[in-house]
Amino acid sequence: MKRLKLFLPLIIFVALGGLLLKGLELDPNEMPSALIDKELPTFRLPSLENPEIMLERNHLLGQVALVNVWATWCPSCRAEHPYLMQISEQENIPIYGVDYKDVRKDAQQWLRKLGDPYAVNVFDEQGKLGIDLGVFGAPETYLIDHKGVIRYKHIGVVDDQVWLNLLKPLVEQLRAEASQG
């Protein structure tokens, strides 16, 4: 019993060290979403380009696509923007934008200046769609299948590594599944 008391601090230290090491192996950007394998939420919001045009969930359906939540106030979104431009120009996948809690004029100017990678841009001024999507902050990118089911959520910047190693293989997998019926 005396020996056990002698080694107890060492045992506790090793156990805590093991837990800490396991925690360091986790990816801080990987946050599970309750919406995975659920339909993209329904919404009715104006187009960023034209407030007279109302966009709905149905406008984003029909093919595998990315839904990118962004804003002009987001420095990471600015870093991500050239990669989204590259994907929209070189890859055969629509990217739908959700301009999140932003100022319409600022967002329109941003796209004129930096280019517009989006097939359609939803203006989510109040952040309601963002709340329904479970957005933690911008940028966030959702991969939806052709039926509008959310199949993956990426928190953070989409860059070459994320596209080539993560999103593109998932896109190809979803397209293969869709073509099989």
Give residue-wise pLDDT tens across range 93-137.
Answer: 999 999 999 999 999 999 999 999 999 999 999 999 999 999 988
Per-residue confidence (pLDDT) for residue 87, from 0 to 100:
97
Q: What is the pTM for the complete model shown?
A: 0.82
Residue tagged 């406008």 (tokens)? 59
Task: Give the residue, 27 or 6, on which the prediction is more confident.
Answer: 6
Domains in the chain, CATH or no CATH each: 30-179 (3.40.30.10)
Per-residue confidence (pLDDT) for residue 27, from 0 to 100:
47
Query: pLDDT-derived band of residue 178, with 50, 70 and 90 as boundaries?
Result: confident
Amino acid letter, 118: Y
| The token pair that represents 119 in the structure block | 């097939």
31 pLDDT more than 60: no
Amino acid letter, 112: R
What residues are paired with 39 via a beta bridge? 149
| Cβ atoms of 151 and 144 closer than 8 Å | yes
CA distance linking residue 179 with residue 181, whole number of Å: 5
Within the chain, how many helices (H) and strands (E) appear?
A: 6, 7
